[in-house]
């Protein structure tokens, strides 16, 4: 019989045991994936889930970690800070993962990453591009190149397409850490390129009506509009810019880097320029394999968010393999392994779908190549990112 007192006693005994004795690493080896499976941020998160799952399937088919498979443990962060904190806490204390790939947004990372850092659990940010992410702590690294490396490329490409651009409008989501970070880089780059920033307009990621901002932009007669926001807000903003008569070029930031945004702005997405940290045509063997597998399953080119999530899982697995050579992962104490894994991943070199990569001393990604794409819509829902030279 299940007596309540007996249950309480065994719980107390269990917690004493786990406090007093070392916790071993589970088999299969648990790796946490804390991304947005719900909320507007799931426009990115769903692609991350696909990328991570492909990595799990693929890497396990190739022997996992010295013959031991990995097992991804998913916790939905939703789109806010509380969701990310909750997901991180569950992965760290309940699911006993060796490391975490997540969260989806920089805005969430600034709240959730310090929890993992204090618990000495390595984190690989799959899509956190704001300035300052790896500097959150010694256990925080990322496989998503920062806005400083990416954003300027889109502006330079816009000038290549239209060298006459002089006057620009800048819009950004003021309640989002990535968007405020990215707009800073866009605005600095615009000044460096001798462009006149005629107006800077703010919005919220939760906004749906952009009439005020669009009216201000139209009043300035600009040749280029630069947007830093997330997918839903930026998509609606683009749609309203076009509907109200803006005809010039549009540069979007990393928040527009997902085909999930196409149904939001529909045919109005056409022509938007977006810099990328990934190209499906990247020539490495690792990417050819990944892109082929993705395309076979989803009938389209893999997007950046999927490639980055895949890469996050792969970096953990490659680093675990090195440690497994020293001592089988199953024989490690979990806390010791998390510390060793963080050290190992920072010194490793990786052949990934993003190309060859490593990390700098802060844990920021060192990546070889970046790209710029322009959105080409086929109809009101479907389109592609066409990579520009
Ligand atoms: C970020 O939140 O950092 C993104 O790039 C979306």
Percent of the chain with pLDDT over 90: 94
Whether residues 303 and 334 fall in one domain: yes
What gap in Å lies between CA 130 and CA 103, rounded to an integer?
13
- The answer on pLDDT for 8 being more than 70 is no
Whether residues 160 and 270 fall in one domain: yes
pLDDT score recorded for residue 16: 44
Across residues 168-185, what is the average pLDDT? Answer: 98
Q: How many domains does the chain have?
A: 2
Q: Point out the domain boundary residue: 276, 296, 317.
A: 276
Beta bridge partners of 373: 274, 387
pLDDT score recorded for residue 389: 87
CA separation, residue 201 to residues 150, 158, 198, 239 (Å)? 22, 20, 10, 16
Closest C-alpha to ligand 1, atom 5: 129
pLDDT score recorded for residue 21: 57
Q: Does some domain include residue 326?
A: yes
Sequence-distant (≥ 6) Cβ neighbours of residue 19 within 8 angstroms:
none
Whether residues 59 and 132 fall in one domain: yes
Q: Does some domain include residue 260?
A: yes
Assign residue 39 the CATH number of its domain. 3.40.50.2300
Residue 229 CB–ligand 1 contact under 6 Å: no
Instruction: Report the separation in Å between the CA atom of 17 and the middle of ligand 1, taken as the mean of its atom positions.
Output: 41
Residue 103 CB–ligand 1 contact under 6 Å: no
Q: Does some domain include residue 259?
A: yes
Q: Does some domain include residue 302?
A: yes
Whether residues 158 and 117 fall in one domain: no
| Spatial strand order in the sheet of 29-35 | 70-76, 29-35, 100-101, 123-125, 140-142
Helix axes 42-61, 231-243, angle to 10 degrees: 130
End-to-end CA distance of the chain: 71
SS3 content of the chain, % helix, strand, coil (to 5): 50, 20, 30
pLDDT level of residue 169 (50, 70, 90 thresholds): very high
What gap in Å lies between CA 54 and CA 74, rounded to an integer?
14
pLDDT level of residue 22 (50, 70, 90 thresholds): confident
Residue 77 CB–ligand 1 contact under 6 Å: no
Whether the link from the prior residue into 315 is cis, omega within 30° of 0, is no
pLDDT level of residue 248 (50, 70, 90 thresholds): very high
- The answer on pLDDT for 15 being more than 70 is no
pLDDT tens, residue by residue, 79-126: 999 999 999 999 999 999 999 999 999 999 999 999 999 999 999 999
- The answer on pLDDT for 10 being more than 80 is no
ipTM over 0.90: yes
Q: Does some domain include residue 382?
A: no
- CA dihedral over 350, 106, 101, 304, signed as positive or negative: negative
Q: Does some domain include residue 161?
A: yes
Instruction: Report the separation in Å between the CA atom of 335 and the middle of ligand 1, taken as the mean of its atom positions.
Output: 29
Classify strands 224-228 and 167-173 as parallel, antiparallel or unpaired.
Answer: parallel
Whether residues 78 and 133 fall in one domain: yes
pLDDT level of residue 251 (50, 70, 90 thresholds): very high
pLDDT score recorded for residue 6: 52
Whether residues 193 and 258 fall in one domain: yes
Whether residues 269 and 307 fall in one domain: no
Structural domain including 200 reads 148-276
Helix extents (H) in 119-256: 147-161, 177-192, 211-219, 231-243
Residue 311 CB–ligand 1 contact under 6 Å: no
Across residues 356-365, what is the average pLDDT? Answer: 98
- The answer on pLDDT for 335 being more than 60 is yes
pLDDT tens, residue by residue, 118-147: 999 999 999 999 999 999 999 999 999 999
Residue 178 CB–ligand 1 contact under 6 Å: yes
Closest ligand 1 atom to 104 CA: 2
Q: Point out the domain boundary residue: 229, 248, 276.
A: 276
Q: Does some domain include residue 1?
A: no
Q: Point out the domain boundary residue: 276, 309, 327.
A: 276
pLDDT tens, residue by residue, 224-247: 999 999 999 999 999 999 999 999
What gap in Å lies between CA 325 and CA 336, rounded to an integer?
15
Whether residues 178 and 63 fall in one domain: no
- The answer on pLDDT for 20 being more than 70 is no
């Amino acid at each position: 019989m299940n007596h309540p007192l007996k249950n309480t006693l065994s719980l107390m005994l269990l917690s004493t045991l786990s406090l007093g004795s070392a916790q071993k690493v589970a088999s299969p080896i648990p790796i946490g994936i804390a991304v947005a499976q719900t909320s507007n941020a799931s426009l990115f998160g769903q692609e991350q889930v696909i990328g991570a799952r492909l990595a799990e399937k693929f890497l396990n088919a190739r022997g996992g970690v010295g013959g031991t498979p990995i097992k991804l443990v998913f916790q939905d962060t939703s789109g806010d800070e509380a969701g990310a904190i909750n997901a991180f806490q569950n992965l760290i204390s309940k699911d006993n993962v060796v490391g975490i790939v997540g969260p989806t947004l920089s805005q969430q990372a600034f709240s959730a990453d310090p929890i993992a850092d204090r618990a000495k659990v390595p984190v690989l940010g799959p899509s956190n591009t704001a300035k300052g992410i790896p500097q959150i702590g010694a256990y925080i690294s990322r496989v998503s190149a920062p806005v400083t490396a990416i954003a300027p490329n889109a502006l330079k490409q816009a000038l290549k397409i239209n060298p006459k651009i002089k006057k620009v409008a800048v819009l950004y989501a003021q309640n989002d850490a990535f968007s405020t970070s990215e707009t800073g880089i866009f605005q600095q780059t615009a000044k460096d390129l001798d462009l006149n920033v005629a107006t800077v307009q703010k919005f919220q990621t939760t906004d749906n009506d952009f009439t005020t901002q669009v009216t201000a932009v139209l009043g300035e007669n600009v040749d280029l509009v630069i947007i830093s926001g997330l997918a839903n807000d930026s998509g609606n903003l683009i749609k309203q810019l076009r509907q109200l008569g803006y005809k010039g070029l549009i540069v979007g930031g990393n928040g527009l880097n997902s085909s999930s945004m196409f149904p939001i702005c529909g045919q109005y997405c056409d022509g938007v320029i977006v810099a990328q940290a990934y190209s499906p045509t990247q020539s490495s063997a690792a990417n050819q394999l990944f892109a082929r597998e993705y395309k076979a399953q989803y009938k389209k080119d893999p997007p950046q968010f999927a490639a980055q999530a895949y890469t996050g899982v792969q970096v953990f697995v490659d680093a675990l393999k090195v440690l497994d050579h020293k001592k089988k992962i199953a024989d490690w104490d979990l806390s010791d392994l998390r510390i060793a894994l963080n050290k190992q991943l920072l010194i490793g070199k990786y052949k990934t779908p993003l190309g060859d990569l490593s990390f700098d001393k802060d844990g920021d990604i060192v990546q070889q190549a970046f790209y710029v794409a322009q959105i080409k819509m086929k109809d009101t829902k479907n389109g592609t990112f066409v990579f520009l030279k």
